[in-house]
């Protein structure tokens, strides 16, 4: 089945937030902020702004009826700070006017005086000053102290990875209007409708049942709208509530880039010990997470960094510690992989460094340490159905890794200006929210009298194709044509208490709930057939219900009418909670993941050693989909995730100046992969695996894992640089921009 949004997307007919027809009298709101990252506010002068025709009101913390607080995990983030500014772009209040244009004009007229305070942008500095979001956490297995002396090689070092701008095509926004009884309707571009609902209720001091949040779809989220879509929705709702008018906000790209958090930059120290036969015996790592000015989702992201600190490798002795460090940057947030990629970068760098020192190829070390059934992760989960070795073997043989290596060698021997590099990149990613409590979902299904069906779940469509998968589930269970089924928007009145669509678990959780609701309805319909027609062994297929010998046939529509006439309920609401999983934070042990996703990629790159530029010749992947329920949608997720990962590792560079101002604040200064810079070739091969029962229809979650194939991009380039300049002492400092490559080529 093709993605059900495809036709409307390519015709520009799909409705995003800014496409919602505006109600007459709609006002616009725009936050204002001070040109500083850390300061005491001494005064704000609105006089000139208020005199502009079309400016209705300027809203500040004094206008908040409830709590001035929007922190999700920890209440450490005021909606509007009362006296201290913590990051450049932190909203101090809202300008409400008759057009966005006039609000922008007014913003330039607001005069803010402040006394500057020291600005910290480096997580290591923050950690030294004990500026932490939460206390540090440590995962351990075995005992590293005892084994260092037995190791043939012990290598240590430091790595740095930068953040990443989400660059969803649809910027943040919301549209809210008051309803008759003091309740509020909010259209939001959010991955977490319930978080939006709950936070608006807190800020407005209203019960949650008075806030209706509706999400049709997102023009991309990538984690950037898991927590950080909330603020804008609160702005719109607060203004609508205060003024009794519909109020809309839709961020200008440069405001979005400046005011929102990004992927967390990390700085890490590692120490790795190997035996003569290249087995990793011990690994110690300390991560310094750059959390920004408030917690946001940082503690949860920190946790996933620890879960994935050993990637797809079995290491018997591990100590992994992570610090969440408070800096004067916008609060950093979820981004595809959720801290996992940052954890994996360090172990991959450690392996590459070890290989360079020992004088072997990194893939020899990688291959010798892949996880297998029965191995235990540092967090206590014992591995079942590992596909790490399987995917590696398949990848190395079908794509002929030996030949690729040989090709690279011979090319480099006969070329001086261009050098090639390759990297093998295995991945292993746990599926489930690491906070066990969040792993549940609901679905609501109505069958109408005419046989048409409408489905609501808590899943948010953001381009990943979850609605297409939901449609497939309902259509298959009822045996009816997909055009008889509609997937409705995600709405907090229809589906309550949703977890955000995140952790790649959207299709699993909501799909399983949908399966349950559909199966209950199916049982009811089967009873109607059995009671009325005294037949057994019936099948629902092709809009019909029939016995296997076709001696009895009734159409779907006729059966639905029959059930309705006999007063059988044609509606069902179901709730699914992932079984098996659990986690004990006190012990840092448990079984947090329903299952793991595996895969292996080979990345090949050519570096122009005169210019420092590079081109990815090919990325060849063997991915463990389980039994993919939609290969087009899933392959799309692999390609998108991969390219996003390569972008993060190569050309996407976020820069703040020493005053904490974002310098890469527009598409002219922040470069993402485009059609010219994507790999010339991407081949995706499906690994033949059974797929776990906890995955929807045994089709494994695919949203985030492929991003981590992109890690290999860094190491492939490094290999080419080393081929040109073998003696250079290189650091691990991603992204590997052409500027940095050029410096390293001649270092
Ligand atoms: N794909 C598209 N096209 N747009 C997105 O915003 N977000 C990613 C991934 N793939 C995203 C995407 C992220 S961060 C996650 S967690 C998953 O999709 C969420 O959807 P799922 O749980 O249905 O896989
Ligand atoms: Mo995805 S980073 O879990 O929204």
pLDDT tens per residue, range 672-719: 999 888 999 999 999 989 999 999 999 999 999 999 999 999 999 999
Alpha carbons 590 and 581: distance in angstroms, whole number: 8
Give the model's pLDDT for residue 267: 98
DSSP letter assigned to residue 489? P
Residue nearest to atom 10 of ligand 1 (CA): 703
Q: Is the CB of 338 under 6 A from ligand 2?
A: yes
Alpha carbons 366 and 741: distance in angstroms, whole number: 24
Q: Is the CB of 220 under 6 A from ligand 2?
A: no
Read off the pLDDT band of 32 (50, 70, 90): very high
pLDDT above 70 coverage of the chain, percent: 100
Q: Is the CB of 191 under 6 A from ligand 2?
A: yes
Task: Summarize the confidence of residues 19-32 as an average pLDDT.
Answer: 97
For the CA of 334, the closest atom of ligand 2 is 2
For the CA of 701, the closest atom of ligand 1 is 24
Nearest to 525 by CA among 592, 609, 463, 445: 445
Read off the pLDDT band of 501 (50, 70, 90): very high
Q: Is the CB of 502 under 6 A from ligand 2?
A: yes
Q: Is 52 exposed, middle or buried (0-12, 13-18, 19+ CB in 10 A)?
A: middle
Read off the pLDDT band of 365 (50, 70, 90): very high
The residue whose CB lies within 8 Å of the most ligand 1 atoms, and thus the one to mutate among 505, 630, 703, 706, is 703
Residue nearest to atom 16 of ligand 1 (CA): 502
Q: Give first-to-last CA distance, the chain, whole Å.
A: 52
Give the model's pLDDT for residue 224: 98
pLDDT digits (tens, 9 = 90+) for 225-279: 999 999 999 999 999 999 999 999 999 999 999 999 999 999 999 999 999 999 9
Read off the pLDDT band of 637 (50, 70, 90): very high
For the CA of 223, the closest atom of ligand 2 is 4
What is the residue whose two structure tokens read 């290189």? 730
Give the model's pLDDT for residue 81: 96
3-state helix/strand/coil string of 326-343: ECCCCCCCCCCCCCHHHH
DSSP 134-189: EEEEEEEES-HHHHGGG-SEEEEEEEEE-------SSPSEEEEEE-TTS-EEEEE-
For the CA of 501, the closest atom of ligand 2 is 4
- In this structure, the residues whose C-beta lies within 6 A of any atom of ligand 1 are 220-223, 336, 462-464, 466, 501-507, 637, 640, 701, 703-704
Alpha carbons 238 and 250: distance in angstroms, whole number: 15
Number of the ligand closest to the Cα of 304: 2
DSSP letter assigned to residue 579? S
- Compute, in angstroms, the gap from residue 632 CA to the centroid of ligand 1: 15
Q: Given phi > 0 = left and psi -120 to 50 = alpha, else beta, which region is 47?
A: alpha
- Compute, in angstroms, the gap from residue 503 CA to the centroid of ligand 1: 8
Read off the pLDDT band of 293 (50, 70, 90): very high
Instruction: Kindly list the distances between the CA atom of residue 714 and the CA atoms of 356, 366, 554, in Å, as whole numbers in the listed order.
Output: 15, 16, 60
Task: Summarize the confidence of residues 77-102 as an average pLDDT.
Answer: 97
pLDDT above 90 coverage of the chain, percent: 99
- Compute, in angstroms, the gap from residue 712 CA to the centroid of ligand 2: 21
Alpha carbons 468 and 510: distance in angstroms, whole number: 12
Q: What would the two tokens of residue 296 be?
A: 């946001």
Q: Is 91 exposed, middle or buried (0-12, 13-18, 19+ CB in 10 A)?
A: buried
Q: Which residues are catalytic?
A: 704
3-state helix/strand/coil string of 274-319: ECCCCCEEEEEEEEEEEEECCCCCHHHHHHHHHHCCCCCECCCEEE
Number of the ligand closest to the Cα of 221: 1
Read off the pLDDT band of 319 (50, 70, 90): very high
- Compute, in angstroms, the gap from residue 82 CA to the centroid of ligand 2: 31
For the CA of 222, the closest atom of ligand 2 is 4
Give the model's pLDDT for residue 721: 98
The residue whose CB lies within 8 Å of the most ligand 1 atoms, and thus the one to mutate among 9, 167, 336, is 336
Read off the pLDDT band of 3 (50, 70, 90): very high
The residue whose CB lies within 8 Å of the most ligand 1 atoms, and thus the one to mutate among 222, 459, 503, 640, is 222
Q: Is the CB of 227 under 6 A from ligand 2?
A: no
The residue whose CB lies within 8 Å of the most ligand 2 atoms, and thus the one to mutate among 164, 264, 304, 338, is 338
Number of residues that make up the chain: 747
pLDDT digits (tens, 9 = 90+) for 169-184: 999 999 999 999 999 9
Give the model's pLDDT for residue 261: 98
Helix count and strand count (H, E) for the chain: 19, 30
Number of the ligand closest to the Cα of 641: 1
Strand, helix or coil for residue 407: helix
Cβ–Cβ < 8 Å for 467, 434: no
Number of the ligand closest to the Cα of 297: 2
Task: Summarize the confidence of residues 447-475 as an average pLDDT.
Answer: 98
pLDDT digits (tens, 9 = 90+) for 125-167: 999 999 999 999 999 999 999 999 999 999 999 999 999 999 9
For the CA of 459, the closest atom of ligand 1 is 23
- Compute, in angstroms, the gap from residue 82 CA to the centroid of ligand 1: 36
Nearest to 626 by CA among 604, 594, 655: 594
Residue nearest to atom 9 of ligand 1 (CA): 703
Around 44, how many Cα atoms within 13 Å sit in the side-chain half-sphere? 25
Alpha carbons 90 and 84: distance in angstroms, whole number: 10
Alpha carbons 350 and 287: distance in angstroms, whole number: 13
- Compute, in angstroms, the gap from residue 88 CA to the centroid of ligand 2: 25
Alpha carbons 479 and 560: distance in angstroms, whole number: 13
For the CA of 191, the closest atom of ligand 2 is 4
Q: Is the CB of 334 under 6 A from ligand 2?
A: yes
Q: Is the pTM for the entire model greater than 0.95?
A: yes
For the CA of 336, the closest atom of ligand 2 is 2
For the CA of 221, the closest atom of ligand 1 is 6
Q: Is the CB of 335 under 6 A from ligand 2?
A: yes
Alpha carbons 655 and 653: distance in angstroms, whole number: 6
Give the model's pLDDT for residue 736: 98
Read off the pLDDT band of 56 (50, 70, 90): very high
The residue whose CB lies within 8 Å of the most ligand 2 atoms, and thus the one to mutate among 167, 225, 226, is 226
Read off the pLDDT band of 389 (50, 70, 90): very high
Task: Summarize the confidence of residues 441-460 as an average pLDDT.
Answer: 98
Give the model's pLDDT for residue 468: 98
Alpha carbons 731 and 714: distance in angstroms, whole number: 12
Residue nearest to atom 11 of ligand 1 (CA): 222
Q: Is the CB of 223 under 6 A from ligand 2?
A: yes
Alpha carbons 350 and 353: distance in angstroms, whole number: 5
pLDDT digits (tens, 9 = 90+) for 112-125: 999 999 999 999 99
Residue-averaged pLDDT of the chain? 97
The residue whose CB lies within 8 Å of the most ligand 2 atoms, and thus the one to mutate among 296, 704, 705, 708, is 704
Q: Is the CB of 525 under 6 A from ligand 2?
A: no
Read off the pLDDT band of 352 (50, 70, 90): very high
Residue nearest to atom 4 of ligand 2 (CA): 223
Instruction: Kindly list the distances between the CA atom of residue 686 and the CA atoms of 130, 311, 627, 701, 707, in Å, as whole numbers in the listed order.
Output: 47, 21, 9, 14, 17
- Compute, in angstroms, the gap from residue 434 CA to the centroid of ligand 2: 12
Q: Is the CB of 226 under 6 A from ligand 2?
A: yes
Alpha carbons 388 and 687: distance in angstroms, whole number: 11
Strand, helix or coil for residue 321: strand
Query: Dihedral, CA atoms, 120, 125, 129, 131, nearest 10 degrees?
Result: 60
- Compute, in angstroms, the gap from residue 703 CA to the centroid of ligand 1: 5
For the CA of 465, the closest atom of ligand 1 is 23
Alpha carbons 10 and 395: distance in angstroms, whole number: 34
Read off the pLDDT band of 108 (50, 70, 90): very high
Number of the ligand closest to the Cα of 433: 2
Alpha carbons 183 and 496: distance in angstroms, whole number: 16
Read off the pLDDT band of 385 (50, 70, 90): very high
What is the residue whose two structure tokens read 């392996």? 351
CB under 8 Å to 677, separation ≥6 — which residues?
Answer: 615, 651
Give the model's pLDDT for residue 164: 98
- Compute, in angstroms, the gap from residue 303 CA to the centroid of ligand 2: 14
- Compute, in angstroms, the gap from residue 464 CA to the centroid of ligand 1: 5
- Compute, in angstroms, the gap from residue 621 CA to the centroid of ligand 2: 22
Read off the pLDDT band of 576 (50, 70, 90): very high
Q: What would the two tokens of residue 108 be?
A: 């330039």
- Compute, in angstroms, the gap from residue 440 CA to the centroid of ligand 2: 16
Instruction: Determine phi and psi for 599, rounding to 5 degrees.
Output: 170, 165
Give the model's pLDDT for residue 106: 98
- Compute, in angstroms, the gap from residue 721 CA to the centroid of ligand 1: 33
Give the model's pLDDT for residue 535: 95
């Amino acid at each position: 089945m093709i993605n059900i949004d495809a036709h409307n997307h390519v015709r520009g007919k799909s409705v995003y937030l800014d496409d919602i027809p505006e109600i007459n009298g709609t006002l616009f709101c725009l936050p204002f902020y001070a040109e500083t990252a850390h300061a005491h506010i001494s005064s704000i002068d609105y006089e000139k702004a208020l005199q502009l025709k079309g400016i209705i009101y300027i809203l500040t913390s004094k206008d908040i009826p409830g709590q001035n607080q929007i922190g999700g995990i920890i209440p450490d983030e005021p909606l509007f700070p009362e006296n201290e500014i913590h990051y450049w772009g932190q909203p101090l209040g809202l300008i409400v006017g008759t057009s966005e244009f006039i609000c922008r004009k007014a913003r330039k007229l607001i005069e803010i005086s402040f006394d500057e305070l020291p600005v910290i942008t480096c997580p290591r500095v923050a950690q030294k000053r004990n500026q932490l979001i939460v206390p540090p956490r440590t995962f351990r297995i075995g005992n590293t102290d005892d084994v260092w002396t037995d190791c043939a090689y012990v290598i240590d070092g430091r790595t740095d990875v930068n953040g990443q701008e989400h660059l969803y095509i649809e910027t943040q926004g919301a549209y809210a209007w008051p309803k008759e009884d003091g309740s509020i309707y909010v259209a939001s571009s959010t991955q977490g409708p319930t978080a939006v609902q709950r936070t608006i209720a807190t800020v407005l001091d209203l019960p949650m049942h008075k806030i209706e949040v509706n999400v049709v779809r997102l023009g991309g989220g990538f984690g950037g709208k898991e927590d950080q879509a909330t603020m804008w929705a609160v702005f719109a709702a607060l203004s609508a509530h205060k003024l009794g008018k519909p109020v809309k906000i839709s961020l200008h790209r440069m405001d979005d880039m400046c005011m929102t958090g990004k992927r967390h930059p990390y700085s890490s120290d590692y120490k790795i010990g190997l035996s003569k036969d290249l087995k990793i015996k011990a690994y110690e790592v300390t991560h310094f997470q750059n959390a920004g000015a408030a917690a946001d989702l940082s503690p949860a992201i920190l946790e996933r960094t620890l879960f994935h600190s050993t990637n797809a490798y079995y290491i018997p002795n591990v100590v992994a510690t992570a610090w969440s460090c408070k800096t004067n940057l916008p609060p950093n947030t979820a981004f595809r992989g959720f801290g996992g990629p940052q954890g994996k970068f360090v172990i991959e760098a450690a392996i590459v460094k070890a290989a360079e020192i020992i004088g072997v190829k990194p893939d020899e070390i990688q291959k010798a340490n892949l996880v297998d059934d029965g191995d235990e992760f540092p967090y206590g989960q014992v591995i079942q159905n590992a596909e790490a070795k399987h995917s590696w073997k398949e990848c190395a043989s079908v794509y002929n890794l030996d030949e690729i290596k040989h090709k690279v060698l011979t090319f480099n021997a006969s070329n001086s200006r261009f050098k090639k590099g390759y990297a093998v990149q295995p991945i292993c990613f746990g599926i489930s929210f690491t906070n066990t409590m969040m792993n549940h979902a609901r679905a609501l299904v109505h069958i109408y009298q005419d046989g048409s069906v409408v489905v609501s779940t808590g899943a948010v469509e953001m381009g990943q194709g979850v609605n297409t998968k939901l449609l497939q589930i309902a259509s298959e269970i009822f045996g009816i044509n997909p055009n008889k089924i509609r997937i409705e928007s995600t709405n907090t009145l229809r589906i309550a208490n949703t977890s955000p669509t995140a952790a790649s678990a959207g299709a699993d959780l909501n799909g399983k709930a949908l399966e349950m609701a559909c199966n209950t309805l199916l049982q009811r319909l089967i009873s109607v057939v059995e009671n009325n027609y005294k037949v057994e062994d019936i099948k629902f297929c092709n809009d019909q219900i029939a016995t296997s010998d076709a001696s009895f046939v009734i159409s779907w529509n006729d059966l639905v009418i029959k059930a309705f006439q006999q007063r059988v309920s044609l509606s069902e609401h179901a709730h699914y909670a992932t079984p098996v999983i659990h986690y004990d934070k006190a012990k840092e042990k448990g079984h947090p993941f329903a299952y793991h996703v595996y895969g292996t990629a080979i990345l090949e790159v050519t570096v122009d050693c005169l210019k420092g530029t590079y081109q990815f010749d090919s990325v060849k992947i063997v991915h463990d989909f389980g039994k993919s329920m939609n290969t087009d949608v899933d392959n799309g997720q692999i390609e998108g995730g991969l390219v996003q990962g390569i972008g993060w590792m190569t050309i996407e560079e976020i820069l703040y100046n020493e005053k904490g101002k974002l310098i890469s604040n527009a598409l002219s200064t922040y470069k993402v992969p485009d059609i010219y810079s994507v790999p010339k070739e991407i081949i995706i091969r499906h690994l033949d695996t059974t797929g776990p029962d906890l995955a929807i229809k045994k089709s494994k979650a695919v949203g985030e894992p492929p991003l981590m194939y992109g890690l290999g991009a860094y190491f492939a380039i490094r290999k080419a640089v080393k081929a040109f300049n073998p003696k250079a002492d290189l650091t691990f400092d991603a992204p590997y921009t052409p500027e940095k490559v050029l410096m390293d080529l001649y270092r």
